[in-house]
Amino acid sequence: MAAEQNQKLDKQDRLLVIACGMIAREILAVKAQLGLDHLELNCLPAEYHFYPDRIAPAMDEAITEAKAQGFRHIFVGYADCGTGGHLDVVCEKHGVQRMAGPHCFAFYQRMETYRKIADDDMMSFYMTDFLCRQFDAFFIKPLGLDKHPELIADYFGNYEKLIYLAQTDDPELDKVAQMAADMLGLVYERRPTGYGDLPAGLARAAELQSH
């Protein structure tokens, strides 16, 4: 009982980030970069990228559970991500904040920049480091393109460009993105974004926690 009480007290002083599994590696990299040793990470399944209707209910449950465990400082490592405002309802219910923006493709590019280019990118298909690493698992197999490549035209026929938003400088990931563009018949563009607004978002969450 005493050990459990001590664990709860310890968690009261920590910052819990409940995030999309697609940005777990990036959050840990920023944690190390900023020296946020008190940051603890919990991720919802990355596959919710395909099922945005699952994000808000899962986040509601995750925050409720985290509070029961003793966490007082919680930050949501998601943008809206296709929830249509439902994630904001959950955040308001629990009094927590999330990453600003419509999706990670926006905050990786920084919101100020994204607002200026969003219209021009309307016909573009975005990839990130995660999506390059998981291209087969997240696109080829779920869409059945490994068995039915003729479906490429149906899925990607309205896109004109593939834009790789590179968080890191990794030639191997660049090769995957270029290969994907060639396979999908899209013009290829690489944009080195780094972590965009993520460091500022996590730093701000940590600062709010300290007050």
Q: What's the pLDDT score for residue 6?
A: 46
Q: Looking at residues 118-129, what average pLDDT do you find?
A: 96
Q: What's the pLDDT score for residue 174?
A: 98
Q: Tally Cβ neighbours within 10 Å of residue 210.
A: 8
Q: What's the pLDDT score for residue 172?
A: 97
pLDDT > 70? residue 137: yes
Please give the domain boundaries of the chain with CATH numbers for all domains. Answer: 2-104+196-210 (3.40.50), 111-192 (no CATH)
Q: Looking at residues 18-42, what average pLDDT do you find?
A: 97
pLDDT in tens, 34-93: 999 999 999 999 999 989 999 999 999 999 999 999 999 999 999 999 999 999 999 999
Q: What's the pLDDT score for residue 43?
A: 98
Per residue, the 3-state secondary structure of the chain, as one string, reads: CHHHHHHHHHHHCCEEEEEEHHHHHHHHHHHHHHCCCCEEEEEECHHHHCCHHHHHHHHHHHHHHHHHHCCCEEEEECCCCCCCCHHHHHHHHHCCEECCCCCHHHHHCCHHHHHHHCCCCCCEEEECHHHHHCHHHHHHCCCCCCCCHHHHHHHHCCCCEEEEEECCCCHHHHHHHHHHHHHHCCEEEEEECCCCCHHHHHHHHHHHHHC
Q: What's the pLDDT score for residue 8?
A: 57
User: pLDDT band for position 138 (50/70/90)?
Assistant: confident
Q: Looking at residues 157-178, what average pLDDT do you find?
A: 97
Q: Work out the mean pLDDT of the chain and round it to a whole number.
A: 93
Q: What's the pLDDT score for residue 84?
A: 97
Q: Looking at residues 105-116, what average pLDDT do you find?
A: 97
